Structure 1
Amino acid sequence: MLEKSFAEVVQLSLPEDKRVSISAVTVGLSTVLSCAIQGTLRPPIIWKRNGIVLNFLDLEDINAVRSTGFVTSGLRAQIFRQKNQVPLPVPPVILVYPETQAQEPGMAASLHCYADGIPNPSIIWLKNGMDLQPRLSKQLSLIGAYTCIAKNDVGVDEDISSLFVEDSARKTRLSVGNMFYIFSDEGVTILQPNECEVRKHVKRSDRIVASYEEVCPKGEGDSPPKCTWASAVTVRDKYIYVTQPLQNRLLLVDTQAQKAVQVVETDPVPVKLHYDKSHDQVWVLSWGDLGKTHPTLQVVSQASVGEEHRVFRTQFQRVDDFFIPPTNLIITHVRFGFIFLKSETAVHKIDLETFHRVKTISLKNYSCVPAGMGYTHLSGYYFIHCQGRNSTLVPPQLIIDSVTDSVIGPNRDIVGRPYVSPDGRHVATPDYRSGLLRVQTVTFQGKLQLSHEFDLGLNISDLIFQPSFMESNQYSIVATSRSGTELLLANLSTGRREVLKTLKEPIPPESWSWNSANRLVVSSGLFGQFLVTPAAQSLFVLNGKQRSPHCELSDIKK
C-alpha cells in the first residue's frame, strides 16, 4: 500500500519597513513588542536575543539593559526575520557638591555637578535663576544659589548648591568621601588629603567601644604586636567594615565618631567584603583556614542600622569567589549575584534576597574556570575572567547575556580581569602576559567597540576609573604596578597617557596573601581629586587633577 503525505505550505510576508522595529520605552515603564510577520495562517513565532531562543518574553526585570536584537521568525515553508530594537533611555540623575558652603570675602569657591542618564545629559548652571556658561564645575567668588540642571531626551533633573560669604567663615564640613581611612600595622589613620593632615590615629591598643577589646589584640607569636587587615567597605557613609583575618572577625569603625565601635565574629579567616547597597547587606568570604580548605560565604544584614550586628552563614560551600554587580545613580537595585566554586567550570546565579541558588550557567564548553566578573547595564553583559585548568593555556573572557543567562561566546581574544567604569561605558582589561591594557567602549545601543590599546609592559595590580575634571561623562584610568614603582594615568577621552615612576616599591606580592592587589589605589569619592596608594614603607597621596604626587607619609607601613 502506497501512502502520500503533503506538508502544509503557508505563504508568509514581512513588509520592508517592518524588518527593523524600534520601540523606545523609558526605564520603569512597560512596552509591547509586536511581530509583523503575516501569513494565510498564523505562523509559529520564535523570539531570540543574541541568537538564543527565548522560552518566554518578559522584559520586566531588564531595567536599563539595552534590549536590542530581539528577532522573530516565521517558520515552515518560508523564513522571515524581524529585528526589534528596544532602546531604554533613562532620565538624568544628578548630584551636586557641596550642598552649602561658606567662604571668606575674596576667596574662590568650587561647586561640582555630576550627572548620569541615557543618553548622556547636557549640563547647564544657573546663578539665582540666570544662565551661566555650562561647565562641569565652577570657580566662583560671588554669593548666591547655583542650580545645576541636567537634561536629555527623556527628562530633566536639577539641584542647588548655595554659596555664602562670611567675615569669619566656618570651614565647609567634609564628608567621609573626602577622608581616607588607612589601615596599617599600627592601627587606623584618618587622613585629610588636601593638607596631608592626619586628623586622628586609632592605635592598635585602643579599646573598642562595645566590647572594650583592643583594636588589634596580640596574636600567637605576634612580636612585636601588629594589626592585620585584608578588605574594607564603606556602608552608607556611616560605618567602615574591615576584616581582621587572623582574629576571625570584622571591625566596625563609626565614621562620624571616628572610633572603633564593634566587632562581628565570623568564620575563620575573613578575606573579602562587598557592600550590597540594594539590600543593606555586607557579604563576607572566609577561607576557613590559611590553606583555603573550608571556604564559606556569610552575610551581615541591616549593615547600616541597629546596635548589634551578626553574620548569617549562607548555604553555599566551597566558594572560591563571588560577584555582586555595583549600583550607580541610575541603577539603584540589584537582585542577583554570582558565586564561583573551586576549580568548577560554571558560575552560579544567586538571589540576593532569599540567598538561594537560582541557576547554574555552564562554562565547560569553553574550558573556563571563572576567576572574576564585571557587568555593564548598557548591554546587559557579564564579562567572565577565565582561567584554564592548566597554566599554559588561558581562555579569553566570556560574555554572558543577563536577559537569557546564556553564554554568547568569547569577548574577542581579550584575556584578563575586566574592570567596568561606574557608568558602564568602559570595560578595561589588563593582560598580565602581554602587558597590554585594552579598553572597550559600550555604546548606547549596547555594542562593544575596542577604543584603546595601551602597551604598558606592566603587570597591573589594581585599576580604578576617576571622573574627568574637565568633561562630563568622561573618565581617566589610574592603574598601579604589581612589582614596580610605576603608576599609569590614561585619559579615555583623548587617549593620552602618562606613567609616573616616582613612587616607591610596593608591598612584595609574597607578603600580601589576601588577594592579587598588593598595591591598591583608592580615590576620594565622586568629587574628590585625591587618590592614595601604599608602598612597602610609606603611603603616597596623589593629585588626580594635576596628575602628580601630592605628598608622602613615611610613618605608615603596610
Structure 2
Amino acid sequence: MCRPSCKNHVNPVCGSDGILYDNHCELHRAACLSGHHISIMHDVTCSRATTMPPVPPITPVASTTASENGAVGKESVSTESPVVEDDVTESIVIPDEEEVEAPTDDVISVRNCTEEDFDEFKNEVFRHYREQFRNPKDETNPSLPPMTEKFLISFLFDHLDTDMDDVLSLEELKEALITDSIQDIAVSCSLEDFLRADKNKDSRLVAPELYDVFGIEPVSIPEELKHKNVMGKVGRNLVLSCDIETNYNLRVAWERNGVPITEKSNFDGIKMYHGDDRLYLVNVKLLHTGEYTCYAASYPKVKQVHMVNVQVPPTVTMCPHNQLKPRGTTAKVQCYAQGVPTPSKSWSRNQNSMELGEKYQLDDSNSSLMVHHLDYADTGIFDCSASNEAGTGSASASIFIRDSSSAIDFNSKNVYYFFHKTGIQIVEPDTCAFQDSYHADSHLPEDAGPLCHINKTTRKRECNWGSAVNVRNRYVYASQPTENRIIVIDLRLNEIIEVIKTDNIPVALTYIPHLDSLWMENWRNKNHRSGLHSVKVIRSASDPPPHIPIHLEPSGNHFDIVENVYIPSEQIVDQGEMKYGYLVHRDQKGLNKIDLHGLTHSGRINLREYNCHPNSVAFVAIGGTVIVNCDATDDQEERQLFIDYITDAVLRVNDGVQGQLYVTPDGRHVISVDREEQHIQVQKVTNDGQIKTDFQVSTNLHISDLGFYPTMTSHIYDLIATSRNREEAIFINLENGKVEMISGMHEPISVEDWKWDTHNRKIAPSGQFGPYMVSPSSDHVVILNGQYRRLHCDVDHLVTANVFAWVGVC
C-alpha cells in the first residue's frame, strides 16, 4: 500500500521524471503510486513543478499467509465467497496526515532474527537502496562522487530522516518499511532490528550508529595523511592536529605508543583542552619522542599516526681549553659534540679554515686535531663547530708556544682518588705517580676521630668504603658503611672538611647534577639481599658545608624502607629533565615513583600482571623508555619489560633478553648481562627511540662489572667488562661487535673482602676525554689504555681499592 500523504515540510528534490517534489517523501510516494522507479537528480533543474498524484480507489488485496518461521509466504487467493462479520464496516479508513500507518507486528518485527539472518537482511537492504538511489545519468557524470558504501549510508540516513531532526526514530524506520517496499525483503528481520546499534538505548539512531549497523566507519583519512613525520625541538612546543575526516561531531581520542592519553591530563608535557581535539606537547623533551595516534572515539580502526622525532641542537666540549706547549712538539685538541641526530664536526683556526696535511691532521672522525711541529705562528684559537638539523654549536681552545721544554699546563691535574684498605691515595694516571694521600689514622675535623677504626680481629686500623662521587669538581663524597658516616673532601683545599652522620651502613651514593642533590642508600644490616634500606638525600651538595641529609617523604607513620633505588641520569645535554626515579620494595611486584624535586611519592606502576619483581632498572632518554629486568620465578625465567616513562604503561616484553641492565652514557646502547647463561646482549637505540637487538657475545669470563670507554669516533663508546674470578677483561666494539681479550689484570678482590654487591672488580673511565680505564685487583690498581686495549701501568700497594672517583677538567 502506498502512503496516502506526507508531512508538510519543504526540502525540494528533483526527480528523474523531471518533477520537483517538496521533499523525499513526496518523491517516493509518487514512485509508489505510478509503479515506476524515480531517482533523485542532483545539480539539475526540474522542468515541471510538483504535482500531487491522487490517491487511487481502494481495492481488495489478496491475503497472505505466514510461514512457520514467521516469514511472509507467497500470496494465495481464496476461491470461496467472502464472509463479512457483522461488526466490520465495508469501507477502509485512511489515516489523516498526522497519523502514520503502523504495520502489524507479525510483519515488522519477528523475534527470531539471528545474527546470520541479520547479516543477510542488511545485505539485501543495501542492494535494495543502491538500486533505488541509482540514476543512470549519475554513472556518466564525472563531477558526482562515486556511490561508495560510505556515501550510500550517508544518503540513506538523509532519506530515512523524514523529519530532518538528525536522528532516526522507530516510527521513521517503520514508515520506510512500507514506503520503500522493504517488506518485500523483510523475512526474519526488520528495519527495527537496526536499533541493535542504539548504543545509548534511547530507541533512536544517530548517523554513526547507522554506519555501525552496516559495519562501515563514518570516518576516513586520505592515504597520504595516515602517517606523518613531525619534527620537534627540545624546549619548544608542538601542536598535533588530527586529520580524520567525518561529517559528524565525534570526539577525537589520542594515544601515545598505543596507550590512551585522552582521559588524563597529568602526563608530563602533554596537554588537551576541552572542546579542542588537538594534542599539545609543551616544553618538548627528548623523552617525548614517540608515536602519537588519533582517531574518532568509538572508531579506532581509522587512525592517523604522528611519528614525533624530538631533536637536540649540538653541545660542544673541548679539551684542553688552554695548553702551553714547547716549540717543535705536537699539540692535541679534542672535541666532543652531542645532539640528536648525531652532529657533524668541522674545525677552524682564528675563524679561518685550515688546510689539512703535514701540519694539521684530523683523527677519530674529526674528533681530534693534531698540530705538528709547533712554532710561534701556531699560537691561536682553534674552534670546533658541530651542526645537525636542530642547529649548531661551537667551542674554542687555545694553544700557546714557548721555548722552554718545561712548559706548565694551565689545567689542574687530572687524577683518580682511590679509597683503599689503609686510607686514600691520589694517583695521576699519565705517570701513575702518587700525588697525595690520607692515612687510616688521619684525624678528621669536628673531633670525629681518626679516618678509620681498628679492626677487632686483626687489631689493625682498616678502612671500609662503600661508594664515592665527584660533585662538580668541588667535593668528593665518600661513604664509610661500618662507620655510619660520609666524609667530604674539598678538592680546592685538598683536605677533608666535613663528616656527615647517616643512618646505619651508608653504602651507595648517587649524584644528580641538574638537581645538585646527593642520594644515599643506608642498609639495616650487612646482608645486601635483605632489601631493608633507608634513603636520605643531601640537597645543594655543591654548596659549602654544612650538608644536612633528609629522609624521603614518610610512608604512613614511618620512613620508607626499600630494596633498591633507581635514578635516571642525563644522557644528552639539554635532553630535558626526567623528574622521577623509582623505588623497589622487597617482595612487591611493581615500581614506586618518587618525585626527585619534592622527594615525595608520586604513584605506583603495578607489575603483578607480569609477575615481575624488578631486580634491575635502566633508563633511555630518547623516547622515554624504562627497562625493567624481572626476577625469575618457579614457572618463568628472568625477563625484561619496556615501560613508557610518561604514561607508566608496559609497552611490551623485551623478548629473548634478560640480565642486569647497563646503558651507555649517551643513551645509544642498552647492554644486558646474563650472568647465568654468560651472555652479553647489545641493543641499539635509534633516533626515533626504537630499541633494536644488535648482537650477542657469549663468554665464560663470569662478568663482574662493565665500563664504557669514550672512543671519540662515530659511535662514541665501546665496552670493557671485568671478571669476578679471572685475571682477564674483555673489550667489545659496540659498533661492529668485535671482541678482544685483555690480559694482565691480576687477581680480583675476593668476595669476602667486598660484600656490598656482586661487582667485586669495578671499572670506570678517566672522564670524557681521558684514554684510561681503571680497575682494582686484590692488592693492585690496574690502569688500562682504552684506546690500545692494553695495560698502561700497575699501581702497587693499594689493597681492596674498589671505590674510586675521577677528578679532572677533561
TM-based fold match above 0.5:
yes
Contact 1:461-1:480 within 8 A present in 2 as well: yes
**Deviation digits for residues 102-133 of structure 1 (CA, Å, limit 9, x no counterpart):** 01111211111100001110011111222235
Q: Is 1:353 matched with 2:592? A: no
Equivalent residue for 1:19, pick from 226, 242, 252:
226
Letter in 2 for 1:117: G
C-alpha spacing 1:333/1:81, structure 2 compared with 1 (3 Å): closer
**Deviation digits for residues 469-497 of structure 1 (CA, Å, limit 9, x no counterpart):** 4x144211111112212211111223221
User: Could you tell me how far apart the structure 1 residues matched to 2:421 and 2:535 are?
Assistant: 27
C-alpha spacing 1:92/1:404, structure 2 compared with 1 (3 Å): same
SS in 1 for 2:464: coil
User: Could you tell me how far apart the structure 2 residues matched to 1:483 and 1:216 are?
Assistant: 28
- Give the structure 2 partner of residue 85 of structure 1: 307
**Deviation digits for residues 247-298 of structure 1 (CA, Å, limit 9, x no counterpart):** 0000111222222221100000011110011211110100122244752100
User: Could you tell me how far apart the structure 1 residues matched to 2:749 and 2:702 are?
Assistant: 14
Q: Is 1:298 matched with 2:536? A: yes
SS in 2 for 1:318: coil
Moved more, 26-35 or 305-314: 305-314
- Give the structure 1 partner of residue 640 of structure 2: 397
- Give the structure 1 partner of residue 339 of structure 2: 117
Following superposition, the deviation at residue 212 of structure 1 comes to 5.8
- Give the structure 2 partner of residue 183 of structure 1: 419
User: Could you tell me how far apart the structure 1 residues matched to 2:400 and 2:476 are?
Assistant: 32
User: Could you tell me how far apart the structure 2 residues matched to 1:44 and 1:293 are?
Assistant: 48
Q: Is 1:537 matched with 2:537? A: no
User: Could you tell me how far apart the structure 2 residues matched to 1:334 and 1:218 are?
Assistant: 43
1:129-208 to 2 correspondences below 5 Å: 129-132=351-354, 133=356, 135-140=366-371, 141=374, 142-168=378-404, 169-175=406-412, 178-208=414-444
- Give the structure 2 partner of residue 375 of structure 1: 619
- Give the structure 1 partner of residue 675 of structure 2: 432
TM-score, normalised with respect to structure 1: 0.95
- Give the structure 2 partner of residue 35 of structure 1: 242
- Give the structure 2 partner of residue 504 of structure 1: 746
C-alpha spacing 1:387/1:288, structure 2 compared with 1 (3 Å): same
User: Could you tell me how far apart the structure 2 residues matched to 1:12 and 1:112 are?
Assistant: 57
Letter in 2 for 1:67: T
- Give the structure 2 partner of residue 52 of structure 1: 259
Letter in 2 for 1:443: T
**Deviation digits for residues 218-255 of structure 1 (CA, Å, limit 9, x no counterpart):** 35556211000011111111111111000000011122
- Give the structure 2 partner of residue 308 of structure 1: 546
Moved more, 9-18 or 335-344: 9-18
Letter in 1 for 2:485: R
Contact 2:235-2:284 within 8 A present in 1 as well: no
Moved more, 335-344 or 110-119: 335-344
User: Could you tell me how far apart the structure 2 residues matched to 1:205 and 1:107 are?
Assistant: 45
Q: Is 1:549 matched with 2:791? A: yes
User: Could you tell me how far apart the structure 1 residues matched to 2:567 and 2:509 are?
Assistant: 11
Contact 2:284-2:576 within 8 A present in 1 as well: no
**Deviation digits for residues 297-349 of structure 1 (CA, Å, limit 9, x no counterpart):** 00111111122112112225221110111114233633211111112111111
C-alpha spacing 1:139/1:310, structure 2 compared with 1 (3 Å): same
Q: Percent identity?
A: 28
Moved more, 21-30 or 59-68: 59-68
1:420-499 to 2 correspondences below 5 Å: 420-469=663-712, 471-499=713-741
Contact 1:124-1:131 within 8 A present in 2 as well: no
User: Could you tell me how far apart the structure 2 residues matched to 1:293 and 1:20 are?
Assistant: 47
C-alpha spacing 1:212/1:249, structure 2 compared with 1 (3 Å): closer
- Give the structure 2 partner of residue 8 of structure 1: 206
**Deviation digits for residues 451-484 of structure 1 (CA, Å, limit 9, x no counterpart):** 1211122321111221114x14421111111221
SS in 1 for 2:752: helix
SS in 2 for 1:458: coil
User: Could you tell me how far apart the structure 2 residues matched to 1:170 and 1:429 are?
Assistant: 46
Greater Rg by CA = 2
- Give the structure 2 partner of residue 334 of structure 1: 578
SS in 2 for 1:418: strand
SS in 2 for 1:17: helix
- Give the structure 1 partner of residue 561 of structure 2: 318
Higher-strand-fraction structure = 1
Contact 2:632-2:639 within 8 A present in 1 as well: no
Contact 2:234-2:575 within 8 A present in 1 as well: no
Contact 1:507-1:536 within 8 A present in 2 as well: yes
User: Could you tell me how far apart the structure 1 residues matched to 2:283 and 2:704 are?
Assistant: 35
Gaps of 5+ in 1: none
Contact 1:12-1:78 within 8 A present in 2 as well: no
C-alpha spacing 1:359/1:76, structure 2 compared with 1 (3 Å): closer
**Deviation digits for residues 140-190 of structure 1 (CA, Å, limit 9, x no counterpart):** 2332211010111121111110000122354214457x2111000010000
Alignment size in residue pairs: 555
User: Could you tell me how far apart the structure 1 residues matched to 2:412 and 2:766 are?
Assistant: 10
User: Could you tell me how far apart the structure 1 residues matched to 2:223 and 2:480 are?
Assistant: 64
Contact 1:102-1:164 within 8 A present in 2 as well: yes
Following superposition, the deviation at residue 509 of structure 1 comes to 2.2
Moved more, 246-255 or 77-86: 77-86
C-alpha spacing 1:226/1:83, structure 2 compared with 1 (3 Å): same
Contact 2:445-2:499 within 8 A present in 1 as well: no
Following superposition, the deviation at residue 429 of structure 1 comes to 1.0
Moved more, 208-217 or 18-27: 208-217
User: Could you tell me how far apart the structure 2 residues matched to 1:248 and 1:173 are?
Assistant: 39
Contact 1:66-1:445 within 8 A present in 2 as well: no
Contact 1:477-1:491 within 8 A present in 2 as well: yes
- Give the structure 1 partner of residue 316 of structure 2: 94
- Give the structure 2 partner of residue 236 of structure 1: 472
Letter in 1 for 2:384: C
RMSD: 2.0
SS in 2 for 1:246: helix
Letter in 2 for 1:95: T
User: Could you tell me how far apart the structure 2 residues matched to 1:519 and 1:143 are?
Assistant: 44
Contact 1:367-1:395 within 8 A present in 2 as well: no
Letter in 1 for 2:322: T
Contact 2:237-2:283 within 8 A present in 1 as well: no
**Deviation digits for residues 493-519 of structure 1 (CA, Å, limit 9, x no counterpart):** 232211113211211223311111110
User: Could you tell me how far apart the structure 1 residues matched to 2:705 and 2:731 are?
Assistant: 12
User: Could you tell me how far apart the structure 2 residues matched to 1:73 and 1:499 are?
Assistant: 54
User: Could you tell me how far apart the structure 1 residues matched to 2:300 and 2:419 are?
Assistant: 67
